[in-house]
Amino acid sequence: MMDQDFGSVGNGQKRQPIENPCHQTKPLFRSWFQLLLLLCVVVFVLCYALSNSSVSWQTHFALQKHYKWPFNDKNKVYMSSHQVHPKHRHILIEIQTTTEPSTVQPVKTQYHQAYPRNYNFIMDNKEVCKQNPFLVLMVPVAPNNVAARDAIRKTWGKESLVQGEVVITLFMLGLSEGADVDKLQQENVQYHDLIQSDFMDTYLNLTIKTMVIMDWLATRCPAAAYAMKVDSDMFLNIDNLVIMLQKPNIPKTNYLTGMVMTNRPVVRSKDSKWYVSEELYPDPEYPTYTLGMGYVFSNDLPEKFVEVSKSIKPFNIEDAYIGMCMKKLGFTPTSPPDPSQFQAYNSKYNRCEFSKVITFILGPPQELVDYWTDLKKPGPPC
């Protein structure tokens, strides 16, 4: 745009008269006339160029200002497709091959892309918290993953009174092109357990999802005592979790527990699905954090996380991001009373073992239903 404008000025100068028939009789008048004519042409061309491009120049400056505040524009490109976990890759492909729905309002990035108040709840179910739950289980799940939701509703999500305490299970969804909006609404009418916000639901946006969970807990459910962020492919021994939280020595505030990770190096290999650039996260190690598969926290923390996140640059590792929030707040995650209860992978199902733990990562939803059914059958598990 700017190059073209300068080009037209150059052409204008070439248009000045080369010959003047009066040059022999009035040389002084000729040079003054030439100068005046040249000036006229230059002024005319300049005016023309300015009137055509002033709007775009203004826009250009406005955009530069927008991207430079409060961080530089490098922060905006904070997720790359290298980091997609294989089992979630289909979600990203689905998003990449489609365009954004036209009904989505433009996102205002007041603080940064993961600041949850940049997004709006489409489904919100705030009345579910009137029961003053002891524990709220928040499950991030892709909109089209009905199978995972149904398996949870038949198993650990089914229980609303556990060890005498009110427990509610809710699913957190973002937007997905593949999702059938009517079906989701019907599902919500039936179960009243869907929370949906208007960010694009992709694996690389999980930090946004976690922060939206925190915002929901802070604004819709502040009276709950504890909450847990638990993945949709998890086995959760909900009784053991409530028994743990009922122990008198469990803190009621500023408490975060789960599988505690300390001194974890940031993955700098670009081929890794966990790759995070130095631009996004400069330190070589993450602060102490709890593994994202399932972490439990006192419900005073969500509001503090949302507030402190304003000043913490987002990156795509959601559990480590919560670790950053804890660090900035001056708190550290605590090991659970029995650390062996928070397990990641299990080699094979063992009824006795599953009766003692709190978490295990599972495979397909049917596995959860099968293991749960077996665990709940009468007779001692060990």
Ligand X SMILES: *[C@@H]1O[C@H](CO)[C@@H](O)[C@H](O)[C@H]1NC(C)=O
The residues of the shown chain that bind ligand X, judged by CB under 6 A, are: 79, 95, 107, 199-200, 202, 204-205, 208
Tell me the residue nearest to ligand X as measured from the CB.
202
- Least spacing, CB of residue 175 vs ligand X, in Å: 7
Indicate the residue among 236 and 276 with the shorter CB distance to ligand X: 276
Tell me how far, at minimum, the Cβ of 114 lies from ligand X, in Å.
9
Minimal distance in Å, beta carbon 292 to ligand X?
Answer: 17
Closest CA to 122 of 63, 195, 23, 21: 195
Q: Which is nearer to ligand X, 155 or 176 (CB)?
A: 176
Q: Could you tell me the smallest distance in angstroms from the CB atom of residue 294 to ligand X?
A: 23
Cis previous bond, 101, omega within 30: no
Nearer to ligand X, 184 or 204 (CB): 204
Our separate counts of H helices and E strands in the chain read 11, 13
Residue whose entry in the numeric block shows the structure tokens 């659970």? 336
Q: How far is the CB of 142 from ligand X (least distance, A)?
A: 12
Give yes or no for a contact between 150 and 167, defined as CB atoms under 8 angstroms apart: no
CB atoms within 10 A of CB 282: 10
Residue 38 or 107 having the CB closest to ligand X:
107
- Alpha-carbon distance of 331 to 336, in angstroms, equals 15
Compare residues 78 and 372 and give the one whose CB is closer to ligand X: 78
CA distance 77 to 175: 20
Question: Measured between alpha carbons, how far is 332 from 157 in angstroms, rounded to an integer?
Answer: 29
Q: How far is the CB of 202 from ligand X (least distance, A)?
A: 3
Q: Would you say 145 or 205 has its CB closer to ligand X?
A: 205
Q: Within 13 Å, how many C-alpha atoms sit on residue 207's CB side?
A: 24
DSSP 288: S
